[in-house]
Structure 1
């Protein structure tokens, strides 16, 4: 696998030291990040990802991120490689004088890209842990990712590559690295942001593009999707798919080691997404008319 690295204003070797020992991104996970799909040498939905990066930084109480610097770094990385498929932007609050006290210095910005292939299927399991929808970082794409590492190790130990979580109320929330869509009763539902899920870029585009193409799709009302809806999926009475920047819209191939069928509405939504993404590699941010 080829990996390109940009840090400190320069393209660097993959094994170059690039982070100071006291950097808060390293010591306490005080940072934010975005993962983007790269196709044809372009980062898909870059404007939306940068908007969410800024939102995450604001929620973390970090200083405003220099978007121009990030764009320049992304451009240099993409220009330096061929066959790239995945890009990550990581921004920490920089070096701090103490573990829980930020300094006044600049952010640490690191951009990496690789040619690693995206996952071609999704095998998921339910896990015993829950997302805290009242957490200070609920819905924030932060580098404080140890919880997800533990969850994903649990999933892998059971032959899966994704984990599905409830929130503290027992409502369906999200995957460890994805959002989730449920097809039942002739419509597609996704947990609302109030559930504590991440405001996924692919999730948002699926809601917008699907509705524009006449597909019955919406964010569920708070509490409408109980975790027990996954029992319906296992029984074949409903269908499920996950969404993320690398998976796009990907049906669940299995849940808790039970092979699943693909939902017809979800298949139609996936086709719409692929067609629309092929026409516009950088769809602009949307101003929601209602909570999503």
Structure 2
């Protein structure tokens, strides 16, 4: 497999990340998962804008401008010959001495990989995670950081409890998101999603649904799942019906008309 690492295409077997890279030792970095359709990255500018905003918050220098990153992705797609796939752009702060304080002269690592698309369409049965919660007070809740341990704990718990996915509550007990996706609930004709202030990641598809389909941000609790007509999970790789939580059906327990409408939108 060919990857793009720090300015050039290399075979994955020859790609090398320094053992002292802070992305590996401390999770000091960010990533973006980008859908590729018809040989082109979808919503690329939105992804790069989010990456830049996260890098600015972490005071992590971006060594390549948007045009260079777009060119790198185009080169990787051409080399990989995958027209329907998934790009992952990983940005770490690079190497540094032991300790938490970042080096003043950081030399970031940028890795871009490409894989065939995994079409995520199957209905989802979820549980509400008991093992961890989303920290809505942390600025990291707004970033695609390399530290995904809360999501990993939640997803392991879901598997142990026989579910496909885990829903994460925040510190106040309100719904934030799933381990890998944004939550939308259709309630009384309104399409609602947890606000960023409640710990929801500002997802790319989430923003498009808010802009294009009249969705609204609103605090949501587990009780709202019981009164919802329909529930949908979205991320950059797809939209899926959330049909049950903790063994109880959501709405009719199947995909509904709102999901059909969203799937019909070519911009999503």
Q: How high is the TM-score relative to the length of structure 1?
A: 0.83
Return the alpha-carbon distance in structure 2 between the equivalents of residues 209 and 151 of structure 1. 31
Would the aligned equivalents of 2:230 and 2:258 in 1 still touch at CA under 8 Å? no
Would the aligned equivalents of 1:139 and 1:198 in 2 still touch at CA under 8 Å? yes
Q: Which moved more, 1:62-71 or 1:48-57?
A: 62-71
Number of residue pairs matched by the alignment: 260
Return the alpha-carbon distance in structure 2 between the equivalents of residues 36 and 11 of structure 1. 18
Return the alpha-carbon distance in structure 1 between the equivalents of residues 141 and 63 of structure 2. 20
RMSD of the alignment, in Å? 1.8
Higher relative contact order (CA 8 A, sep 6+): 1
Return the alpha-carbon distance in structure 2 between the equivalents of residues 96 and 172 of structure 1. 37
Q: Summarize the alignment of residues 100-139 of structure 1 with structure 2, pairs less than 5 Å apart.
A: 100-103=100-103, 104-121=105-122, 122-128=124-130, 129-139=132-142
Would the aligned equivalents of 1:54 and 1:65 in 2 still touch at CA under 8 Å? no
Equivalent position of 1:75 in the other structure: 74
Would the aligned equivalents of 1:183 and 1:263 in 2 still touch at CA under 8 Å? no
Q: Summarize the alignment of residues 197-236 of structure 1 with structure 2, pairs less than 5 Å apart.
A: 197-211=200-214, 217-220=215-218, 224-233=219-228
Return the alpha-carbon distance in structure 2 between the equivalents of residues 191 and 58 of structure 1. 24
Residue 183 of structure 1 deviates from its aligned partner by 0.5
Return the alpha-carbon distance in structure 2 between the equivalents of residues 69 and 99 of structure 1. 32
Residue by residue over 1:206-250, the C-alpha shift from the partner in whole angstroms, topping out at 9 and shown as x without a partner, is: 111113xxxxx2111xxx3122212335xxxx3100110002x32
- Does the C-alpha gap of structure 1 residues 207 and 114 become closer, same or farther in structure 2, counting only changes over 3 Å? same
Return the alpha-carbon distance in structure 2 between the equivalents of residues 7 and 130 of structure 1. 34
Would the aligned equivalents of 2:170 and 2:199 in 1 still touch at CA under 8 Å? yes
Would the aligned equivalents of 1:203 and 1:244 in 2 still touch at CA under 8 Å? yes
Would the aligned equivalents of 1:95 and 1:102 in 2 still touch at CA under 8 Å? no
Would the aligned equivalents of 1:28 and 1:99 in 2 still touch at CA under 8 Å? no
Q: Which moved more, 1:163-172 or 1:69-78?
A: 69-78
Residue by residue over 1:65-99, the C-alpha shift from the partner in whole angstroms, topping out at 9 and shown as x without a partner, is: 52243223212111112234111000001111223
Residue 32 of structure 1 deviates from its aligned partner by 0.4
Return the alpha-carbon distance in structure 2 between the equivalents of residues 37 and 109 of structure 1. 18
Residue 17 of structure 1 deviates from its aligned partner by 4.1
Q: Give unmatched runs, 5+ long, in structure 1.
A: 212-216, 278-292
Return the alpha-carbon distance in structure 2 between the equivalents of residues 146 and 175 of structure 1. 13
Return the alpha-carbon distance in structure 2 between the equivalents of residues 257 and 116 of structure 1. 30
- Does the C-alpha gap of structure 1 residues 65 and 240 become closer, same or farther in structure 2, counting only changes over 3 Å? farther
Residue 161 of structure 1 deviates from its aligned partner by 3.1
SS in 2 for 1:137: helix
Residue 139 of structure 1 deviates from its aligned partner by 1.0
SS in 1 for 2:46: helix
Q: Give unmatched runs, 5+ long, in structure 2.
A: none
Q: Which moved more, 1:109-118 or 1:19-28?
A: 109-118
- Does the C-alpha gap of structure 1 residues 160 and 118 become closer, same or farther in structure 2, counting only changes over 3 Å? farther
